[in-house]
Amino acid sequence: MNRNSFDNEPYLVEQLKIGRKEAYSHLFQLYHQELCNYMTAISGDPKAAQDIAQQTFIKIWDNRSKLKIGDNKLKRYVFKTAYHLFIDSQRKRNKESQLLESLKQQAYLDMIEVDSSLFEERLQRVEREIENLPEQCKKVFILSKREGLKYKEISEQLHISIKTVEVHMARAMKRLRAQLASFL
CATH code: domain of residue 17: 1.10.1740.10
Q: Indicate if 20 and 95 belong to the same structural domain.
A: yes
- Residue whose C-alpha is closest to residue 74's, from 2, 15, 4: 15
Average model confidence (pLDDT) across the chain: 84
Q: Is residue 9 part of a domain?
A: yes
Checking if the pLDDT of 111 tops 70, the result is: no
What CA–CA distances, in Å, run from 53 to 19, 64, 78, 145, 180?
A: 19, 16, 9, 69, 65
Q: Is residue 114 part of a domain?
A: no
Rounded distance, CA 60 to CA 77, Å? 9
Rounded distance, CA 75 to CA 124, Å? 73
Ordered alpha helix ranges (H), the chain: 9-17, 21-43, 46-62, 74-131, 135-145, 151-158, 162-180
Select the more confidently predicted residue: 125 or 108: 125
CATH value at residue 163: 1.10.10
Pick the last residue of a domain from 80, 99, 118. Answer: 99
Q: CB pairs under 8 A, 24+ apart, for 2-11?
A: 9/71, 9/72, 9/74, 10/71
Pick the last residue of a domain from 76, 99, 122. Answer: 99
Q: Indicate if 95 and 136 belong to the same structural domain.
A: no
Q: Is residue 176 part of a domain?
A: yes
Checking if the pLDDT of 126 tops 90, the result is: no
Checking if the pLDDT of 171 tops 80, the result is: yes
Average pLDDT over residues 126-153: 88
Neighbours of 6 (CB within 10 A): 22
Checking if the pLDDT of 116 tops 70, the result is: no
- pLDDT at position 5 is 79
Domain of 95 in residue numbering reads as 3-99
- pLDDT at position 90 is 86
Checking if the pLDDT of 163 tops 90, the result is: yes
Q: Is residue 17 part of a domain?
A: yes
- Residue whose C-alpha is closest to residue 28's, from 88, 78, 72, 80: 78
- pLDDT at position 158 is 93
The tally of domains found in the chain comes to: 2
* Contact call for residues 72 and 9 (beta carbons, < 8 A): yes
Select the more confidently predicted residue: 182 or 30: 30
Residues of the chain with pLDDT > 90: what percent?
Answer: 34
HSE (CB half, 13 Å, CA atoms) of 12?
Answer: 23
Checking if the pLDDT of 167 tops 70, the result is: yes
* Contact call for residues 94 and 148 (beta carbons, < 8 A): no
Q: Indicate if 56 and 139 belong to the same structural domain.
A: no
Q: Residue 182 — very low, low, confident or very high, per pLDDT cuts 50/70/90?
A: low
